[in-house]
Amino acid sequence: MMMLTFFLFVSSTICLYIFDDAPIQRAGMVEYVGRQASILETGRAEGAFNLSRLKGRPNLFGVGAVEGLDGEITIWDSRLLVTRVREQRLEPAEGWNHRAIFLVWAEVARWVDQPIPDEIRTQGQLQQLVRAKATEAGIDPDDPFPFRVTGRVASLEWHVNVDQTDGQPIDQRRFERSKERFQETDLMVEILGFHSTAHAGVFIKNSSTDANQPPDALHLHVRPQNRPGVTGHVDRLTLGKGMTLSLPAINQ
């Protein structure tokens, strides 16, 4: 009887672990779970997905945010990077047992590189270029897809979430305050991005970075080469010369 009770307890625990996650959805090349907009809609930053469910999947690339406004998530070729802020210092977190408020990912076995023209400088120009080059490569730009940008940026503004809400419901003011912000210049970077015109509030933010540009269709995370093992969310960047755009190969 004791063994049966133990078995039922373990089984129910496993079921809760599995089914407590939000459903995984798929569109185009990507899978995603959770919604960025839920933070302000509910006033909470609850986890929707346990990252351990993706451990071991090959050729994985993804971006997201840690529950509780407690860090940023980037998956780069199946290597998980989780960065948190502790006492105003960036701290890489170990292991896959973290929960994401939202996460978007894709499996890409092969990328095709191409140079970014030097006249492409702003984030808005990059967005237009990514869409145009995806179309040329046979990728449907109306479906979400991943891309990479590597090289030396002229300037970069980025952040890592850190809870500064004092236990109060999250509104826009508290959300903006809950970020440790960084500004860099002349920096080598690896950037992972996702493009979508149909997922604002899901894994694309609702607003535009520039009133003279179309609405944001990009979600960008950075691996700054001056901070090994660290990742964060890109707020604004100015591209440097000689950078490279990488798109998924259609025939993987």
Identify the CA nearest to 46 among candidates 55, 57, 33.
Answer: 33
Least confident of 11-15, 27-31, 204-208: 11-15
pLDDT at residue 132 tops 90: yes
Please compute the mean of the pLDDT values over residues 213-232 and round it to a whole number. Answer: 92
What pLDDT is attached to residue 211? 57
pLDDT over 90 for what percent of the chain? 84
What pLDDT is attached to residue 11? 43
Model confidence pLDDT, tens digit, residues 111-131:
999 999 999 999 999 999 999
Tokens 């500064």 identify what position?
Answer: 164
Classify domain 2-107 at the CATH topology level: 60s Ribosomal Protein L30; Chain: A; (3.30.1330)
Please compute the mean of the pLDDT values over residues 233-241 and round it to a whole number. Answer: 98
What pLDDT is attached to residue 212? 60
Q: Are 147 and 247 in contact (CB under 8 A)?
A: yes
What pLDDT is attached to residue 18? 46
For residue 203, give both structure tokens. 């894994």
Question: Do the first three CATH levels of 2-107 and 111-248 match, i.e. the same topology?
Answer: yes
What pLDDT is attached to residue 66? 98
Please compute the mean of the pLDDT values over residues 138-143 and round it to a whole number. Answer: 97
What pLDDT is attached to residue 88? 85
Question: 130: part of which helix (H) or strand (E)?
Answer: helix 123-136
Identify the CA nearest to 193 among candidates 30, 78, 71.
Answer: 30
What pLDDT is attached to residue 5? 43
pLDDT band at 104 (very low <50, low <70, confident <90, very high): very high
pLDDT at residue 12 tops 50: no
| Dihedral (CA of 189, 98, 161, 92) sign | negative
Model confidence pLDDT, tens digit, residues 239-248:
999 999 999 9
Parse the chain into domains and list their residue ranges. 2-107, 111-248
Q: Look at 245 and 12; give whichever has higher pLDDT.
A: 245
Q: What are the backbone angles phi and psi of residue 243, rounded to the nearest 5°?
A: -85, 165
- In sequence order, which residues have a C-beta less than 8 Å from that of residue 77 and are 6 or more positions away? 59, 60, 61
Q: Look at 133 and 94; give whichever has higher pLDDT.
A: 133
Q: What are the backbone angles phi and psi of residue 129, rounded to the nearest 5°?
A: -65, -45
pLDDT band at 98 (very low <50, low <70, confident <90, very high): very high
Cα–Cα distance for residue pair 40/26, rounded to 1 Å = 24
Q: SS3 string of 183-223?
A: EEEEEEEEEEEEECCCCECCCECCCCCCCCCCCCCEEEEEE
Q: Are 159 and 233 in contact (CB under 8 A)?
A: yes
pLDDT band at 16 (very low <50, low <70, confident <90, very high): very low
pLDDT over 70 for what percent of the chain? 89
pLDDT band at 4 (very low <50, low <70, confident <90, very high): very low
Please compute the mean of the pLDDT values over residues 48-73 and round it to a whole number. Answer: 98
CATH 3.40.50.1970 fits 111-248, yes or no: no
pLDDT band at 85 (very low <50, low <70, confident <90, very high): very high
Model confidence pLDDT, tens digit, residues 183-198:
999 999 999 999 999 9
